[in-house]
Amino acid sequence: MEDLRKTNTKVIAAVPRDGWDPDAVDWSGRIALMLGGEGPGLSAQVAAAAHERVTIPMQVPVESLNVAASGAIIIYAARRARR
């Protein structure tokens, strides 16, 4: 995290709840997207150290997506925003 901050890279952590909708995030500039494992996710320490947190909105009864699907959705939203 320290090395990323030295390069003016904005760290965005994918979290299961209480993050910004991917379409509400400012995806400009240098970005490091942090994705956790499918079970435990990111540690609370890593999520708290990020500049922003992003959460994919899901309707009940969906509780989670696998990390590959989550990453693809978030990167798609980021790419769309950069156009």
- HSE, side-chain direction, 13 A CA sphere, residue 58: 18
DSSP 6: H
Predicted pLDDT of residue 74: 97
Confidence of residue 17 (pLDDT cuts 50, 70, 90): confident
Q: What is the mean pLDDT of residues 20-42?
A: 93
Hey, what domains does the chain have and what are their CATH numbers? Answer: 2-81 (3.40.1280.10)
Please indicate, yes or no, whether the overall pTM of this predicted structure exceeds 0.85: yes
How far apart (Å, rounded) are the C-alpha atoms in residues 17 and 54? 8
How far apart (Å, rounded) are the C-alpha atoms in residues 83 and 81? 6
The edge-to-edge listing of strands for the beta sheet with 31-34 is 31-34, 10-14, 52-54
- What are 33's strand-pairing partners? 12
